[in-house]
Chains A and B, each alone.
Chain A
Amino acid sequence: MSVDTAVETKTVFGAEVPQPPQHGAAGGVMRGLNFGTGLIGGIGLAAVAGWVTAILTPSSASNASFAPMEPTYVYLAVLLGWVVGFMLGMGAFVGPLRWVVGRDITHADAEYMAGKDLGRKRYWKYTTDHKVVGIQYLVVTLFILGFAGLLAMLIRTELGMTWTSLFTPSFYNSMIGTHGIAMIIGMIVVISGPLGNFIVPMMIGARDMAYPRLNALSVWLLVAAVPMLVSSMFMGGIQDGWSVYQPLASQAPVGMLGYQMTIIIFAISTAIASVNLMTTILTMRAKGMTWSRTPIFVYGIFAASVMGLYAFPFFQYAQILGLTDRVFSTSFFDPLNGGSVWLYENLFWLLGHPEVYVILIPSMAVALELMPVFLRKPLFSFNFAVAGIVGVVALSGLVWAHHMYMTGWAPAANYPFMLSTEMISIPVGFLVLVAIGTFWRGTAWTRLPLMAVYAVIFNKMIGGVTGVYLSDVPADQYFHGSMFVVAHFHFMLMGAGLFGAMAGIAFFFPKMTGRILDERVGSIGLWTAFIGFQITFISMFVAGLQGQPRRVLDFDDQFNLSNWISTIGAYIIGIGMLIFLSAIITSWRSGVIASSNPWGSKSLEWQTETPVPLENFPVLPVVTERPYNYGVPDPYEAELESIDEDLTEKAGTK
């Protein structure tokens, strides 16, 4: 082809756009790459890296504690080989390499990479379309939550069988740690990933995310991180809880490297996703979408991205330092050589507490987003809701040390941190008040998504109130390290977070899949899980008040009853979640076909057709009013009507 002599053009959204030279078929090397080649690349490179490292590592190599280092080096090499090989096989490096050599992507390449005409294959590829990425996030997140939920069932089974032990203490500890971090990762992603990617660009009237290839990178990095976390269970596991406090982490089996590498990779994925979401929201909102016309869900996702962006690097670096302590014998956290375990705790909780709001704020934002739709009235005090979100973000970085009251670190700092922690309940309270105010005198159209909102608000109130006790230094002296803490954070993260995600999935399901989520089965699942949830964790509050410590396999007989009840409740949660999951799967496969706007919502994502076309909107929309003007006469229309009346009156007079 003699393409060098004349610049080819292509019609892109109605305009003739000059194209760079097209080398070969559209998509180039990406045509041959998919999840299968990713697996081959990852497993292959992991095997080679592990084998070479095993040969190169002297069998006498040991660390500062004289522990043999060969398994450490080999496992680390396997993990690194897996990540690099998997991303190589998926095609993650193709774009950057093409950029370096100056072979720019054409419109045809971009369309191929967005999955145009690829059918279901596009879900198995490094696809850039935000809708595909949203679905990929949903599936990966459901897998992570399912895996962590299975571990939760095993943990509760062990604790419920008070007359015997099913697992060894070390395996039990490993399950606790893996369950914790898997749930945290799943909950961080469960709304921002699927809904943030699928819905937000449409909600703001954009054609895609700001950086489509980075979008694909963020989800596939998450996919790469999952096997590393699972593999750690087969390498001795994570035996010191999800927070992997030092120096226990340095003494833990080699599986700890799986945790550390998972967090390092997950933090990169989160940073990329945060940058992408924030840039999309800041620069790609439709014409006329001022901040007062931007839906509250967008605010929630933006807030979570802000917190993820500034806080995750601390967690990431805490794990990098922990990894170097283990592998290279540095001494950041080893007191013998000048290190400090408090350093770890500070770095860890600098993320650890904002992360709670990374989970909670999107969940509350989903609730506030769909309430006006089902109550057919505007959000009660939109500005108050925004102030609540801004307040949480502003204070989220100033509360981390309330997790360290009892560690002995800086006792004089306890009271300022108590104050800041109690202060953050004010903006969080704003959000609850906005929800209650919106309900006030509303006529509820009680469908499945709104039912989940009821659950969110109920759980949030219990979680919030019990949290105030834990933020209080004297009360925390008693509650710290007890099952009361476990019950509290489950009310916040699962009770508010996960039920909020269920609300969001039920609400946006028609737009995402083109089908209506089976309300009958879905409702049964939701309420079964809700009842099980109350049984499990209210009983756990009782056990905590009685003094049962957390993370303990064998406990005194006085705690038996509450543990039996909690275990029965946990099984009920499990049954409820399985029912809800079955509603998702069956509805997705053969549910009732959804219209483009089954809820009669006013926001932009519902104004385009379903299934959503590749470019989202044939013509980019222009926003002329606030998103929740249900039941409120449009002021412009009212003005026109009054003018009409005046004219009629004048005509009559004449």
Chain B
Amino acid sequence: MSTSTLPVSPTTGEPITTIARRARLGLWLLIVADVAGTIALVISYSYLWSLNVNGGWAPPGATLTANQTNSTLPTTPSTATFAVEWPFWAILFVVVVATALMWFGYRSARSGNHAGLMVGAGLSFLVTVAALIFQWIQMSTFPFDAGDGAYASAVLLLCASNIFHLFLLLFIGMGIFMRARKGLIDKTNWYQAQLLSYYMTWVCIAFLLGAILTTFMVESPNTDPAIFGTFKQQ
């Protein structure tokens, strides 16, 4: 039989190409759910940015114009201000590098270059670890806390979403590297590396959306916001 040339699933006996097609579709659908969740965060950020309810979008110490700071929030005097923008792009760059390395590994696997697969998957994993560390450092050094207004909340949740994605990439990336080391990913059976490459590409887009929001939608355009009373019980 042709089992030696055409790999098959040990559990169902189906050709790997069939399993791969099915897995690709499943991944695309999971990405749809992930996109919907990310859109929920994007909506949250942009909605609160556009409304600036009670003037509470900006952190209390943020400079809004040349002679105006956001003193609306009735908190203790604070130095909390907007986050520096470049780290969002820097972390995005690191994730893009990790993704490019994974794509290199996947393409190497397809062409039968096992060493290339190992290098690509291994380096991609390490760079993802670096991205996670950078993301963590950024989150822990923001010039605001979670309670410093809507901007602070939205930015922190975007970063938390990034961290969730990075942990997921680390888990899968480690699996790809270890499986590649065992020879379970090769010229005839490379679809799992392909799936990770696809997913990492989507993660780059999610990071890009966050970077765009935190760069181009910082100060609220609503300078005459609605003022509501607080509904909190005292």
- What residues of chain A have their CB less than 8 Å away from a CB belonging to chain B? 9-10, 12-13, 15-20, 64-65, 96, 99-102, 104-107, 109-110, 207, 210-211, 247, 250-251, 271, 274-276, 278-279, 282-284, 309-314, 316-318, 320-321, 324-325, 328-332, 334-340, 343, 346-347, 350
A614 to B160, CA, bound (A): 43
**In contact, B13 and A15 (Cβ under 8 angstroms):** yes
Q: Which residues of A lie under 8 Å from residue B12 when comparing CB positions? A: 12-13, 110, 207
Whole-angstrom distance between the alpha carbons of A255 and B150 in the complex? 25
B10 touches A247 (CB 8 A): no
Q: Report if B179 contacts A (CB, 8 A).
A: yes
State whether A15 touches B1 (Cβ < 8 A).
Answer: yes
In the bound complex, CA of A337 to CA of B21 (Å): 48
Q: Cα distance A350–B1 when bound, in Å?
A: 53
Which DSSP category, helix, strand, loop or mixed, fits chain B's interface?
helix
Mask: chain B, 205-234; 1 = CB below 8 Å from A; 0 = not: 000000000000000000000001111111
> What is the CA–CA distance of A15 and B9 in the complex, to the nearest angstrom?
11
Contact A313 B11 (CB under 8 A): no
Chain B residues near A282 (CB, 8 Å)? 25
Assess whether B137 is interfacial by the CB under 8 Å rule: no
* CB–CB A317/B48 < 8 A: no
By the criterion CB–CB under 8 Å, are B48 and A15 in contact?
Answer: no
Q: Is the CB of B1 within 8 A of A102?
A: no
Q: How far is the CA of A350 from the CA of B47 in the complex (A)?
A: 15
**Minimal Cβ-Cβ distance residue in A for B173:** A100
A317, B154: Cα distance in complex, Å? 12
CA of A284 to CA of B21 in the docked complex: distance in angstroms?
A: 11
* 3 A-B pairs closest in CB distance: A338-B56, A338-B150, A330-B153
Q: Once the chains are docked, how many angstroms separate the CA of A107 from the CA of B9?
A: 9
Q: Given the complex of chains A and B, what is the CA–CA distance between A251 and B232 in angstroms? A: 7
In the assembled complex, the CB of A53 is this many whole angstroms from the nearest CB of chain B, namely 18
Interface residue from A19, A325, A340 paired with B48 (Cβ < 8 Å): A340
Q: Is the CB of B30 within 8 A of A271?
A: yes
> Which of chain A's residues have a CB closer than 8 A to the CB of B147?
64, 329-331, 337
> In angstroms, how far is the closest chain B Cβ from the Cβ of A455?
34
CA distance A278 to B22 in the complex (A): 10
Q: Would you list which residues of chain B between 31 and 83 have a CB under 8 Å from chain A? A: 32-34, 36-37, 39-41, 43-44, 47-48, 51-58, 73-74
Chain A proximity of B169: nearest CB distance (Å): 13
Q: Report the nearest A residue to B232, measured CB to CB.
A: A65
A321 and B179 contacting across the interface, CB-CB below 8 Å: no
29 contacts between A and B (CB under 8 A): A15-B1, A15-B3, A16-B3, A17-B9, A65-B232, A99-B179, A100-B178, A101-B178, A105-B11, A107-B10, A210-B26, A247-B232, A278-B25, A278-B29, A279-B26, A311-B36, A313-B34, A313-B37, A313-B39, A330-B156, A330-B157, A331-B56, A334-B232, A335-B229, A337-B56, A337-B150, A338-B153, A339-B153, A347-B40
Q: How many A-B residue pairs have CB under 8 A?
A: 197
Q: A65-B232, A251-B231, A314-B36 are in contact. Are A339 and B53 (CB under 8 A)?
A: yes
Task: Report the minimal beta-carbon distance from A258 to chain B, rounded to whole angstroms.
Answer: 20
A313 touches B40 (CB 8 A): yes
Minimum C-beta distance from B174 to chain A (A): 6
| Contact across chains for B230 and A211 when beta carbons are under 8 A apart | no
Which of B54, B74, B156 sits near A338, CB closer than 8 Å?
B54
Do residues A339 and B36 form an inter-chain contact, with CB atoms below 8 A? no
Instruction: Check B150–A18 contact: CB distance below 8 A.
Output: no
Closest B residue, CB atoms, query A276 = B26
B84 within 8 A of A: no
- Tell me whether A279 and B33 are in contact (CB under 8 A): no
A109 to B12, CA, bound (A): 12
Residues on the A chain within 8 Å of B152, using CB? 330-331
Residues in A with CB closer than 8 Å to B232 are 64-65, 247, 250-251, 334, 336
Is there contact, CB below 8 Å, between A318 and B53?
no
B8 interface contact, C-beta 8 A:
yes
Q: Tell me if A338 and B48 are in contact (CB < 8 A).
A: yes
Q: Which residues of chain A have C-beta atoms less than 8 A from B148's C-beta?
A: 337
Identify A17's interface contact among B10, B25, B29, CB under 8 A. Answer: B10
Give the contacting residue for A331; candidates B3, B52, B55, B153; CB below 8 A: B153
B151 contacts A275, C-beta separation under 8 Å: no
A107 touches B53 (CB 8 A): no
Most buried by B among A101, A247, A335: A335
Task: Please tell me if B133 contacts chain A, counting CB pairs below 8 Å.
Answer: no
Question: Measured between alpha carbons, how far is A96 from B36 in the docked complex, in Å?
Answer: 25
Give the nearest-CB partner of A310 in chain B.
B36
Contact check, A339 vs B150: say whether CB atoms are below 8 A apart: yes
B153 engages A332 (CB within 8 Å)? yes
Contacts of A279 in B (CB 8 A): 22, 25-26, 29
- Interface assignment of B184: CB less than 8 Å from any CB of chain A: yes
Give the complex CA separation of A16 and B175 in angstroms.
28
Of chain B, the residue at the smallest CB distance from A64 is B147
Shortest CB distance B231–A (Å): 4
Interface centre among B9, B11, B74, B145 (most CB of A within 10 A): B11
Tell me, rounded to whole Å, the shortest Cβ–Cβ distance linking B19 to chain A. Answer: 9
Contact indicator A332/B48 (Cβ below 8 Å): yes
